[in-house]
Copies of this chain bind each other. A is one copy, B any other.
Amino acid sequence: MPATTTLDLRQLRRAFHRYPEPGWREFYTTAKLVEEVESIGVDELAVGPEAYDPADRMAAPDPEDVRPWMDRAVERGADGDLVEAMAGGNTGLVAVLDRGEGPHVGVRVDIDALYVEESAADDHVPAREGFRSEVDETMHACGHDAHMTWGLAVLDAVKRSDFSGRLTVFFQPAEEVSGGGHPMAESEYATGLDYLFAAHVGLDHPTGEVVAGIERILAMCHVDATFEGTSAHAGKAPNEGDNAMQALGTAIQNAYAIPRHADGMTRVNVGVAESGTASNVVAEEATIHGEARGETTELMEYVKGKLSTTLESAAEMHGCDAHVDVVSESPRVDSDPELARVVADVAGGVDGVETVRTHADFGASEDATFLMGRAQEAGGLATYLVVGTDHPTSHHTSTFDVDERSLPIGVEVLTNAVLSAGETT
């Protein structure tokens, strides 16, 4: 007797899709989720600063930068008091069903969008069917609209079931900047998790395929750096400058040359760099956005340490001050095979599922690992599962889309996994 939801999944997903908000700016999105959660009815509901300690946030924004997003959310109809409670960018929420004895089961979905201008082409379904993003240069281009839909529907379905125990659904903000995983994992709501399911749609797996447990989610950190030097006229007195451009060049070259490590795979990237104001001026400032990854958290730390040294020495060499900031990071965590088996078992019985893979490699990073790690450290089990979807183009592109057949599949796999975990104990 699988539990079912009465929510209109397609309509929900499209409503979320229409109004995408980037990390730490999900004011309207959070308000909409609160409304839906309240309509379902839960035992506990914590929004923003109630759900986590804002000081635990990573990649937290400048409060002034998010203010326009607050205004727009209110303009669009979000409750003003609710939005104000999230001032400074404390978005996201946690919803809890407390249903008697039984295990504490967590489900984590993420809610933020990307700075991508959505395609208006006719063969792009959201454009053709009228639910294209209404926010300039912002788009749900990674399927988090589907994830939120899953989160709500799982709440609804589990509530309608005979589930016994505690179900916590984490609607996590700011995944794309590795910002929200950490505060969610540090919160009291993440205490005593026996089981934690994190889920993603797509990732190059087709509709009908489910991966029960993702492995090798790389440890990662984002590093921002600014070099502050001294400007000078490049023709009249180049010697009077402390050239941030030269510091930048030295930093780029040496960052990529950080030695490979005996213990496994490492990665380093200087993804964005900018310096200077005019061709005839010695550059006063340079900014860098980079990242370090590792097959293990230790390896990421190794690269991060070397990267910091490289940036600082490059600045020093050219008489500049370096401000190096690790804006966010996430650890390496793997899915527990035992819990993946639970997912695999229930997935086999879900309508529309044709292929069940017990595990697959990830090769990239995800801050769901914070919650997974929190569960595992407390003796619980965690898995990161993928519900395939036929996506026409890559994640993060303007023509990304979700095959909506994967909406009910995801709901059913997650719901049954929650129920099955509940019974397992």
Residues of A at the B interface (CB closer than 8 Å) are 218, 220, 222-223, 233-241, 243, 245-246, 248-254, 256-257, 259-263, 265-267, 269-283, 289-291, 293, 302, 309-310, 313-314, 316-319, 363-365
Contacts of A256 in B (CB 8 A): 243, 246, 249, 256-257, 259
Contacts of A234 in B (CB 8 A): 267, 269, 271, 291, 293
Most B Cβ at <10 Å: residue of A259, A281, A318: A259
Asked if residues B222 and A254 are in contact (CB atoms below 8 Å), the reply is no
Known interface pairs A276-B271, A276-B273, A289-B278. Does A246 touch B235 (Cβ–Cβ under 8 Å)? Answer: no
Q: Within the complex, what minimum Cβ distance (angstroms) separates A140 from chain B?
A: 17
Q: Within the complex, what minimum Cβ distance (angstroms) separates A267 from chain B?
A: 5
Known interface pairs A246-B256, A365-B235. Does A272 touch B276 (Cβ–Cβ under 8 Å)? Answer: yes
A290 to B273, CA, bound (A): 16
> Taking the full assembly, how many copies of this chain does it contain?
4
Asked if residues B271 and A363 are in contact (CB atoms below 8 Å), the reply is no
A253 to B302, CA, bound (A): 20
Could you pull out 16 A-B pairs where Cβ atoms are within 8 angstroms? A235-B269, A238-B267, A239-B261, A248-B249, A249-B252, A253-B257, A256-B257, A269-B280, A270-B276, A271-B281, A271-B283, A273-B276, A274-B274, A278-B289, A279-B291, A313-B314
A280 to B280, CA, bound (A): 31
Known interface pairs A254-B317, A256-B257. Does A274 touch B273 (Cβ–Cβ under 8 Å)? Answer: yes
Asked if residues A238 and B253 are in contact (CB atoms below 8 Å), the reply is no
Asked if residues B272 and A277 are in contact (CB atoms below 8 Å), the reply is yes
Known interface pairs A235-B220, A275-B273, A279-B222. Does A252 touch B262 (Cβ–Cβ under 8 Å)? Answer: no
Known interface pairs A253-B250, A363-B236. Does A266 touch B260 (Cβ–Cβ under 8 Å)? Answer: yes
Q: Within the complex, what minimum Cβ distance (angstroms) separates A148 from chain B?
A: 23
Asked if residues A273 and B261 are in contact (CB atoms below 8 Å), the reply is no
A249 to B267, CA, bound (A): 18
Partner of A262, one of B236, B249, B316, B319: B236
Which secondary structure dominates where chain A touches chain B? mixed
Which 3 A-B pairs have CB atoms at the shortest separation, nearest pair first? A249-B252, A313-B317, A256-B257
Partner of A246, one of B254, B302, B316: B254
Asked if residues B279 and A259 are in contact (CB atoms below 8 Å), the reply is no
Q: Within the complex, what minimum Cβ distance (angstroms) separates A44 from chain B?
A: 35
Contacts of A317 in B (CB 8 A): 254, 309-310, 313-314, 317
Contacts of A261 in B (CB 8 A): 238-239
A205 to B238, CA, bound (A): 21
Partner of A313, one of B248, B270, B313: B313
Q: Which residue of B lies closest to A361 (CB)?
A: B236
Asked if residues B271 and A273 are in contact (CB atoms below 8 Å), the reply is no
Partner of A278, one of B260, B271, B302, B314: B271
Asked if residues A239 and B253 are in contact (CB atoms below 8 Å), the reply is no
Q: Which residue of B lies closest to A317 (CB)?
A: B313
Q: Within the complex, what minimum Cβ distance (angstroms) separates A108 from chain B?
A: 21
A286 to B257, CA, bound (A): 18
Q: Within the complex, what minimum Cβ distance (angstroms) separates A390 from chain B?
A: 20
Contacts of A267 in B (CB 8 A): 234-235, 238, 260
Q: Within the complex, what minimum Cβ distance (angstroms) separates A306 from chain B?
A: 9
Most B Cβ at <10 Å: residue of A220, A234, A277, A363: A234
A277 to B234, CA, bound (A): 28
Asked if residues A272 and B279 are in contact (CB atoms below 8 Å), the reply is yes
Q: Within the complex, what minimum Cβ distance (angstroms) separates A179 from chain B?
A: 13
Contacts of A253 in B (CB 8 A): 246, 249-250, 253-254, 257
